[in-house]
Amino acid sequence: MIIDFHTHIFPPGIIENRDSYLGRDPCFDILYADPKAKLATADGLIANMDEEGIDISVVLNIGWASHELCRETNDYIMEAIARYPDRLVGFCAVQPLAGEKALVELERCAQGAIKGIGELRSDTQGFDLADEATMAPIARVAMERNLVFLTHSSEPVGHSYPGKGTITPDILYRFIQNFPDLVVVCAHWGGGLPFYALMPEVAKALSNVYFDTAASPFLYQDNIFEHVAEILGADKILFGSDHPLIRQNRIVKAIHSLNITEDAKSMILGGNAQRILGLTS
């Protein structure tokens, strides 16, 4: 089974009225101000999955600064997973600074069969991911509801690109230390956080942490898979494409070509996601 752990979908109304949403939210502006930046609906994603041999996709929201935009887009994700229950797994967006409203929204989404939170972006949403007081209520509900917490991650070095952000490994690490029992997925290879697991105390702290491969060809050489599998284990890696930014099967093909065992490839392509999300074959 092939599970893409990192895709994004938007309601048709946002896609059709894209310009009217620009200027309303910093995350949307950063990611989609360029008219060439692609947006996908649930139906478009399903068509691509059928074409490229993807069994299941995790559909993520984005880090909206507005609580109202979180709710609006969460509604669409819940509608999409209800229409395609065997093909799509939904994650919701929340704005932690919304306080009690964010917690009510999390409960509403959990009741709507949502499996996780994300892709949150503390930099554009304006909260401090490493601040325990800010994040404790969200983390508590996530653990009570068995929700996976997926955060954007940023490399502290290297080239700049739209949406790179400032959620670097030091920030991620403090958040992880604050909530060691929370299941966390760090997108985009955690901005390089896996390499710090060569330090024993970091490896220990990452016991409930996983890393997705979203947009990997734009960031790293393909041998990052082999290096991270050697440092942390293949059971910590989740195939994610970042569709529609990148074609889903581009990274699938790269994984099939790796110099790792077939069991490791199977874990990365879907086995790990099945386990984390509690999915049956």
Q: What are the sequence ranges of the domains in the chain?
A: 3-277
Cα distances (Å, whole numbers) of residue 178 to 133, 163, 168, 173, 202: 10, 26, 16, 9, 13
Instruction: For residues 181 and 8, give the distance between their C-alpha atoms in angstroms, rounded to a whole number.
Output: 27
How is residue 179 written in tokens? Answer: 């909530």
Beta-carbon-side half-sphere exposure of residue 187 (alpha carbons within 13 Å) = 31
Q: Residue 231 corresponds to which amino acid? A: I
**pLDDT score, position 280:** 79
pLDDT tens digits along 217-275? 999 999 999 999 999 999 999 999 999 999 999 999 999 999 999 999 999 999 999 99
Instruction: For residues 153 and 166, give the distance between their C-alpha atoms in angstroms, rounded to a whole number.
Output: 8
Q: Which residues contact 5 (CB under 8 A, 6 or more apart)?
A: 58, 185, 212, 214, 238, 239, 240, 273
3-277: CATH class:
alpha beta
Q: Residue 266 corresponds to which amino acid? A: S
Give the bridge partners for 216, in sequence order: none
**pLDDT score, position 237:** 98
Angle at 187 between CA 183 and CA 193, to 5 degrees: 85
Q: What is the dihedral sign for C-alpha 266, 269, 272, 274?
A: negative
pLDDT tens digits along 211-228? 999 999 999 999 999 999
By CB atoms closer than 10 A (0-12, 13-18, 19+), residue 73 is buried
How is residue 218 written in tokens? Answer: 């734009």
Cα distances (Å, whole numbers) of residue 270 to 8, 137, 261, 275, 280: 18, 30, 14, 9, 11
Residues of the chain short of pLDDT 70, as ranges, are 281
